Structure 1
Amino acid sequence: MSTDTVDQGPDRTSRLEEEGEIAADYLEELLDIADLDGDIDLDIRHDRAAVEVVADEEGSLSALVGRDGEVLEALQELTRLAVQAKTGERSRLMLDVGGFRAARRQELTVLAEETVAQVKESGEEIEMSPLNAFERKVVHDVVAASGLLSDSRGVEPERYVVVQPAASDD
């Protein structure tokens, strides 16, 4: 298990490792029940336990992703609850299945960069299509790195990001 966070104490690291192990056990049981083949990879990224279910055969885990990642979102919540039941603390672990989130992160980064360019060119804010919490976070991070502003508006499941020009110092 690797860590790519900075200045994290040993207690925090061991707690995140414990979260990952609990999540892995939970997911292995689920894979057995569903008669699905998959391996579990554990990591610590951005001060969170990161758990990925990977398979040798592409698409063999698609049932765990669902349409637009809906099943993956639900599975992540169930996994977080399983961790919380064992540790007594709320978990922020991130779950990926078959690289779905990694691929979606790349798509959203490109979309966010294109939107940033449009806002910089027009000087007008742009409302994006509804996104789930993971997707909005990716967009907010890209927008912040560009020097522009963003916020989320609306109510789930229609919550969306608005990309705004940078505040002027006038």
Structure 2
Amino acid sequence: MKNKFIHSSDNELLMLINDRNPHAFTELYNRYKKPLLIYAYQKLENKQEAEDVVSELFIKLWNDSQSIILQGEFRYYVFKMLKNRILNQISSSQRVHVFVESLSHFSNTHQNDTDFLIREKQFDVEIDNYLNRFSDRQKQMVKMRIEGYKNPEIAEELGMSEKTVRNQYSSIVKSIKTKFGSILFF
């Protein structure tokens, strides 16, 4: 059977599609499918995405044919429609990519934060266990230094000479560096 729409113009076919003529739609589809696919593939560089965009375009064309008002030739309209769909596809892909990157970054950051917190807690426990080998007075001295006290203030508070504070603190720091030197930076 010969196609009776082969000599019909695009605009005539569109008018027939408005009347829900599937044969007119098939003719228009056959005329534009290949050039639209080529254009979409050139822009998207993905065969499946190009086919999806063109298929969606024709579905929209069928569904919205009654609201289409042409101001010029159909081919310009359909290529502009495709261009907009491609831009939407690219924009959507970029949003997804940005979202995935953001999620990945958040996940890595969150994972790193969690790992860091666990290691920090373990390290604190190790330091506390190690400091337990020192006298209460020496532990107090370390605590005061961490809190920002100077040697003269520590000496006065603990009833020691400043030289004793300096020597004992130095000895404690040396001991800690020997035990945890690869981890700590003094």
TM superposition score category, shorter chain reference: under 0.3
Whichever structure has more strand as a proportion of its residues is 1
The structure with the largest alpha-carbon Rg is 2
Whichever structure has more helix as a proportion of its residues is 2
Tell me the TM-score normalized by structure 2.
0.26
